[in-house]
Amino acid sequence: MAREAPPHFPPPTDDDNDIVMENASFVRNEPPQDDQGPPKVDSEVEILHEKVKKQIIKEGHGHKPAKLATCFLHYRAWVEHSSHKFEDTWQEQHPIELILGKEKKEMAGLGIGIASMKSGERALLHVGWELGYGEEGSFSFPNVPPMADLLYEVELIGFDDIKEGKARSDMTVEERIEAADRRKVEGNAHFKDEKLQEAMQQYEMAIAYMGDDFMFQLFGKYRDMALAVKNPCHLNMAACLIKLQRYDEAIGQCTIVLSEDENNVKALFRRGKARAALGQTEAAREDFQRARKYAPEDKAILKELRSLAEHDKAVYEKQKEIYKGIFGPRPEPKPKKSNLLVVFWHWLLSLIHRLFNLVRRKTD
């Protein structure tokens, strides 16, 4: 069994594994949405093969992967004529590994499309049935009928030419950790250059080398070695996502780290930042207070707690003004009449009544 690692409570500052969060301009670049089915793309159609066409949604960078490169990608897939979606790796939150030239038969068209893409590129692929699930359709996906043309919205996260043709499952533990660490270092360099998308691609590739199935098999020093690379990648992803204002995703990345290390100060701090940005002030305060417990002198944590206190005060004052406007000022109490005046009026009315009765009797 894995030995219990000693508690580690680093403050939320920079080190060899992590990146510093600066106040930088936010960039909005959301992951693709599929609420309306396949995306509508009006870019030029590129003919890659008689049965494969491509339209670029977002440009990539760098060079294209060579044959036998290990590619990491996300995609959504639809049956073209019906727009039935049958697979979504974004939803499953696990990128797919594909070795160019060694892909499965039903992914031949997808492989041709990937070979034409650069890292970070997102595209819509039109794949004929001959390079998809063929004449028989799919047994795994019953809504893919025989001879079904396919649509793929695909993003090439990145690729690794270093271990040509070698799948993750064929690597030793040391090779996988080494490959992940190399991606993490490249991601940190991109982050420092404020290339957030490129940085996230490297972190996501690093994490892909250490999936749940891999981590489940590790014990002792190997698990500690893997977590020493994997957890900083999640934290660095969270830092990028906060800058991109994708707060829910940032919370998810921090929560993954906290599931392994419940007292990780950086994970608590960054999750608190994301929760505060979403207006989840009580949850954010709880994260910051837990982080302060292990880093009581950290100025960044104290600053966030003061900011929440000021926010609470401002909300209270605003609510007080709103209620004042709804109900208006309290009316001034009317002065009470003197008891003597009341007695006098009763006496006068009684006298008038008696005089009236006296006059009426004399008249009768």
CB neighbours of 283 closer than 8 A, spacing ≥ 6? 272, 275
Domain spanning 45-164, CATH class: alpha beta
Strands 46-49 and 70-79: unpaired
- Residue whose structure tokens are 């490129």: 198
Q: Where would I find the H helices in 244-338?
A: 247-260, 265-277, 281-294, 299-327
Higher pLDDT, 169 or 278: 278
Token pair recorded at residue 139 = 């047994």
The pLDDT assigned to 164 comes to 52
The pLDDT assigned to 33 comes to 53
Interval 320-363: pLDDT, tens: 777 766 655 655 555 555 566 666 766 777 777 777 777 666 66
At 105 the three-state DSSP class reads helix
Domains of the chain, residue spans: 45-164, 173-316
Which sign, positive or negative, has the C-alpha torsion 189, 21, 178, 168? negative
**With bands split at pLDDT 50, 70 and 90, how would you rate the model's confidence at 289?**
very high
Looking at every residue in the chain, the average pLDDT score rounds to 83
CB neighbours of 23 closer than 8 A, spacing ≥ 6? none
Interval 164-198: pLDDT, tens: 557 777 888 998 899 899 999 999 999 999 999 88
The pLDDT assigned to 331 comes to 57
Tell me 171's DSSP state. Answer: S
**With bands split at pLDDT 50, 70 and 90, how would you rate the model's confidence at 129?**
very high
CA dist list (Å): 294 to 16, 257, 335: 20, 16, 62
**Across 97-106, 276-285, 328-337, least confident range:** 328-337
Q: In whole angstroms, give the CA distance from residue 131 to residue 189.
A: 39
Q: Give CA torsion, residues 227, 1, 291, 312, to 10 deg.
A: 100
Paired with 87 in beta bridges are 77
Token pair recorded at residue 116 = 């034409």
Rounded mean pLDDT, 57-67: 90
Look up the pTM and report it. 0.65
At 75 the three-state DSSP class reads strand
With CA atoms as reference, report the closest residue to 138 among 95, 73, 78: 78
Interval 215-252: pLDDT, tens: 888 889 989 999 999 999 999 999 999 999 999 999 99
Interval 309-321: pLDDT, tens: 998 888 888 777 7
Per CATH, the homologous superfamily of domain 173-316 is Tetratricopeptide repeat domain (1.25.40.10)
